[in-house]
Amino acid sequence: MFVDADAPWCGHCKALAPEYAKAAKLLKEEGSEIRLAKVDATVESELAQKFSVSGYPTIKLIRGADKDPIEFTAGRMAEDFVTWLKKKTGPPAESVDSVEAAKALTANNEVVVFGFFKVDLLV
């Protein structure tokens, strides 16, 4: 879950709200399982303290009770949220089996690292 801890009086939080909502809509339309949530940290002060919220807005990816939350520090546009979330929750690698797939991958990403591995097909 991607959580925005904010305060109702915070100007930065108010400016962020439409982009955060847009990111939630984009992810939902894509069929993503990632959920976005918003918490009023001034009301839920114990929760804010538990997750080390010291300023507003504080946005964190909470992946489960056994993992530490990851603080979001990228841009403040919907596309920034979506891109960051996909990188943090997506597969660590992608198989490429053709030149066309390699070209598509490099066209859609700023940085691409290819690895070539010998595969024993008779396992």
Is residue 39 one of the residues assigned to a domain?
Answer: yes
The catalytic residue among 12, 55, 75, 90 is 12
Residue pLDDT tens, the chain, 123 long: 999 999 999 999 999 999 999 999 999 999 999 999 999 999 999 999 999 999 999 999 998 877 899 999 889 999 999 999 998 998 888 888 899 999 998 998 888 898 888 777 665
22 burial level (CB within 10 Å; 0-12, 13-18, 19+): middle
Considering just the CA atoms, what is the radius of gyration of the chain in Å? 18
Query: Residue 15: which residues within 8 A CB-CB, separation 6 or more?
Result: 76
Our answer to whether residue 90 is catalytic in this structure is: no
Our answer to whether residue 10 is catalytic in this structure is: yes
Our answer to whether residue 64 is catalytic in this structure is: no
Number of domains forming the structure of the chain: 1
In 10 A of CB 71, how many CB atoms?
12
Cα–Cα dist 13/7, whole Å: 7
Is residue 106 one of the residues assigned to a domain?
Answer: no
Q: Residue 30 sits in which domain range?
A: 2-89
pTM of the model: 0.76
CATH number of the domain bearing residue 27: 3.40.30.10
Is residue 116 one of the residues assigned to a domain?
Answer: no
**6: amino acid identity, one letter:** D
